[in-house]
Amino acid sequence: MTGKKRSSGRPQVPEITESQKQALKELRDFIACHKYPPTMSELGKRLGVAAPSAYQLVLQLERKGYVSRESRKARSLSIVRQVEDTPEKLVPVPLLGIVAAGPALLAEENHLGDILVDQSIAGRGRCFALRVSGESMKGAGMNDGDVIIVRQQAVAQSGEIVVAMLDDEATVKRLWIDGDRIELRAENRKYKPIEITAEREFRIVGKVLAIRGKSQE
């Protein structure tokens, strides 16, 4: 008499596609940077897709056991399992100097060396790294001495963490836009928001993509 051969060993892990893997990485990086999960719109923008497409990717990841979420509750996504994969490809990103996460200080525009960063983070656009000085952004997971990975860009959306030049001094803060009012906000109650008035010279240098703690170097 013949029968089906039983499989042995560990249960097979559901396969994950490249698009799902990228969504998981973007979710991980967003949580590492902001300390809370993204909305579907925010995740979609990082992936370059519409919010409904990002939602479908999250549903697929949830069914395969990589993420969990609470229904009808905003920002409830959490990662429950990482992808066991081959080592990620690392690319060098120039470490340019120091940026203030406290009172605005002039960044030292010197090439101090290179930082190796996952290509999935630094592979889109020109990126650079800066070392954080101060504790005004500790609520966003940035501590004194940490390194931030920044994508060079001149515009950003309200709520994003940016590196900005203010009166020829560089600082890292969360950008806040409400009509004609623009502020740079700290993630520490000890620091007051910096209002951007017409009299001040202001420009965005880049958007913070990831934070690398001192223990990760």
Domains, the chain, ranges and CATH? 18-79 (1.10.10.10), 90-216 (2.10.109.10)
Between CA 47 and CA 15 the distance in angstroms is: 20
102 or 215, greater pLDDT: 102
Q: What percent of the chain has pLDDT over 70?
A: 83
Q: How confident is the model at residue 33 (pLDDT cuts 50, 70, 90)?
A: confident
Q: Which residue has the higher pLDDT, 129 or 81?
A: 129
Of 147 and 98, the one with more pLDDT: 147
Per-residue model confidence (pLDDT) at position 120 = 73
Query: Which of 136, 158, 207, 214 is the catalytic position?
Result: 136
Q: How far apart are CA 68 and CA 202, in angstroms?
A: 41
pLDDT for residue 154: 92
Residue 179: pLDDT above 70? yes
Please provide residue 128's backbone torsions phi and psi, each rounded to the nearest 5 degrees: -145, 170
Catalytic entry in 7, 76, 89, 173: 173
Catalytic, 19? Answer no
Query: In one letter, which amino acid is 114?
Result: D
Q: Is the pLDDT of residue 5 over 50?
A: no
What was the pLDDT predicted at 17? Answer: 84
Look at residues 76, 75, 71, 65 and name the one whose alpha carbon lies nearest to residue 24.
65
Q: If you average pLDDT over residues 191-215, what whole number do you get?
A: 87
- 36 to each of 18, 27, 47, 85, how far by Cα in Å? 24, 10, 17, 25
The C-alpha atoms of residue 151 and residue 91 are separated, in whole angstroms, by 14
Other C-beta atoms closer than 10 Å to the C-beta of 18 total 7
43 vs 26: CA distance, rounded Å: 7
pLDDT tens track for 89-124: 778 888 887 777 666 544 445 677 888 887 777 777
Closest CA to 130 of 46, 209, 32: 209
What number of other Cβ atoms are within 10 A of residue 92's Cβ?
Answer: 13
